[in-house]
Structure 1
């Protein structure tokens, strides 16, 4: 793949959407002066298959060389460019890629506790709550510990959006999921929908459109409206199902991504570059989230023009789905000691005066036996 690094003038001269946000990112992180005059180049593959997510990722990667005065460069790859989404962790551990930008939920295949490292049905419900978990309640330290056991360094979470559901048929209550062939990311999310009667399957993002087009599935979750519109979902579905007003998604309201680096590549960086990458990821998370939210506002009229109808579940559906979800939380937490200690932090937060998401009655008879 050709070198996609660009200088600052080109980077800031991109589209108005990317340019304004990228400019803020450039100002947020000071350049690091190079001493040796050599560039360390990381091959970084994202899970974004297209749209604003991929565009913004590539623009960010293109900015790294100048921000570090030539010491570090990121060569970006989109979903499936080097390996498939579900091979990303093997690729970074084996040195095929130096770093990856996956959906964090995909890590559950090698780290059972990862089911709690991104949002799960009716759990923490807002981006700030996950930032609090990672940066305020010890989540980052635990996550890095678990990734280190797998030969990887977890740099930090990257916010982007809630997940929404596209369907060929209207979903007006949780009863309407019964019998539907539904794409989900697996894990706890799939189990909750199985309890609702859905027939679930796991597919990477790049395979959702053809599966909907062929009728292999008739309902699919994926990320937010801007990216999903760019991927053509309005061409193969007629409906979008969301939570009640103010609650885009009941099942994955905060679908985190992250930057994960192979431990060998990470250890070769000098301390000043390690600090830069950690700070840069935190900044990128904020700007990435804001850019995608802006693009979402531009996508909704396009869905409407294509004839897509938005349906919303009710507060009663929230209550019923919470009753289903809470025992499943405990089942998954008790499969693994690390999952239990992560979930305990989140449960204490959810039941605190700050949030109050969980009625104590729903916790009666449930224990964290894996601690």
Structure 2
């Protein structure tokens, strides 16, 4: 008799099971400052798709591109305060809270490649150091994604550290300005959107804008005919960080899916940046642009100046000091510092 269950009962049971499964769906609201069609945006859209596929639709990421919910610098607080669940922007936006946030994303002259930075995060104690900082904000750092070094651009030769003397260039505020000023440059803080006009008018000699490919796309090399490549000065890393109670409320399987999917983001942005920069480099000759690959000696001189600024910034708070110590220990471990 137990083998003769009416079809209507089986159908009802299936409907109830399906309804129960649907009700268990978890949605995470995240914001990135990247545009959806940008290389980072494409990698992040793949992340969204991978999370859905690997979870069988049980875990859904609702991604907001181009800082469409709140301004980029407010994303961390929006996640912290429950407007969003996760922040996929950049830790350095939060340096006003604590100088330690500068060292979450960009040490300025510390690492030569994105793989070296990722090694610090994954095997050099970086993830643990960041989470010691984030814990007091009820946020958990999941991982980092960074494409590669940015290229410094100029309307005059910039072949070595000596060429920085009197170099007027657009710089973001904060530690970068301190480093370049110590080497004789004259950093001028201005918005990214003002770079082209300032170059054309001669207000600045050059700019810290972005990677070689991005600089080409926004028209920097129509004006500035000198650039560093590979870069040496800045490699800003974006992050995935989620509100701790949300993160801990996920199942172990869901957390693992997000971690694995985000590791793919990190690989994708490194690969796309490498390819796009290579394609851009092939166009530099036709654009009349001279590229400069700084010598090991000049790179070491810049790194030494950067570490001088690290000491000053590390003295601002105990958390910043701990972050600087973590980076310095790892740089020595992998042979980039003595």
Which interval holds the TM-score relative to the shorter structure?
0.7 to 0.9
Are 1:273 and 2:273 counterparts?
A: no
Structure 2 equivalent of residue 296 of structure 1: 277
Task: Check if 1:346 corresponds to 2:331.
Answer: no
Secondary structure at the counterpart of residue 48 of structure 1: coil
Structure 2 residue runs without a partner (length 5+) = 1-18
Distance 1:117 1:198 in 2: 25
2:224 corresponding residue in structure 1: 237
Q: Where do 4+ consecutive residues of structure 1 move more than 6 Å?
A: none
Q: Compared with structure 1, are the counterparts of its residues 313 and 130 closer, same or farther at alpha carbon in structure 2 (3 Å cutoff)?
A: closer
1:11 matched residue in structure 2? none
Counterpart check, 1:36 vs 2:21: yes
Aligned positions of 1:116-265 closer than 5 A = 116-202=103-189, 205=192, 208-209=195-196, 212=199, 217-242=204-229, 248-252=230-234, 254-265=235-246
> Could you tell me whether the CA contact under 8 Å between 2:221 and 2:289 is conserved in 1?
yes
State the distance in 2 between where 1:183 and 1:35 align: 56
Per-residue Cα deviation, 1:311-334 (whole angstroms, up to 9, x for no partner): 343344334334433322222222
- Quickly say closer, same or farther: Cα 1:320–1:260, change in 2 above 3 A: same
Could you report, residue by residue, the CA deviation over 1:120-153 in whole angstroms, capped at 9, with x for unpaired residues?
2432333333233222232212211211212322
Aligned equivalents of 1:234 and 1:56: distance in 2?
A: 26
Question: How high is the TM-score relative to the length of structure 1?
Answer: 0.74
Alignment partner of 1:37: what SS? helix
Q: Secondary structure at the match of 1:75?
A: strand
CA distance in structure 1 between the partners assigned to 2:167 and 2:83 by the alignment: 38
Instruction: Tell me how far apart the structure 1 counterparts of residues 198 and 135 of structure 2 sit (CA, whole Å).
Output: 36
| Runs of 5+ unmatched residues, structure 1 | 1-33, 243-247, 359-371
Following superposition, the deviation at residue 206 of structure 1 comes to 5.6
**Which residue does the alignment assign to 1:310?**
291
Deviations 1:196-227 (A, max 9, x none): 23333455656645655666644222332223
Aligned partner of 2:12 in structure 1 is none
TM-superposed CA distance for 1:191, in Å, is 0.8
Whether contact under 8 Å (1:105, 1:185) holds in the other structure is no
Q: CA RMSD of the aligned region, Å? A: 3.0
CA contact (8 A) 1:100 1:260 kept: yes
Match of 2:33 in 1: 47
Matches within 5 A, 1:69-84: 69-84=56-71
**Native 8 Å contact 1:51 1:226 kept in 2:** no
Rounded Cα–Cα distance in structure 2 between residues aligned with 1:137 and 1:315: 24
| Higher gyration radius (CA) | 2
For 2:85 and 2:188, how far apart are their aligned partners in 1? Answer: 30
Matched residue, 1:13: none
User: Would the alpha carbon gap of residues 168 and 356 (structure 1) be closer, same or farther in structure 2, given more than 3 Å must change?
Assistant: closer
| CA 107–301 in structure 1, closer or farther in 2 if over 3 Å, else same | same
Shift of 1:259: 0.7
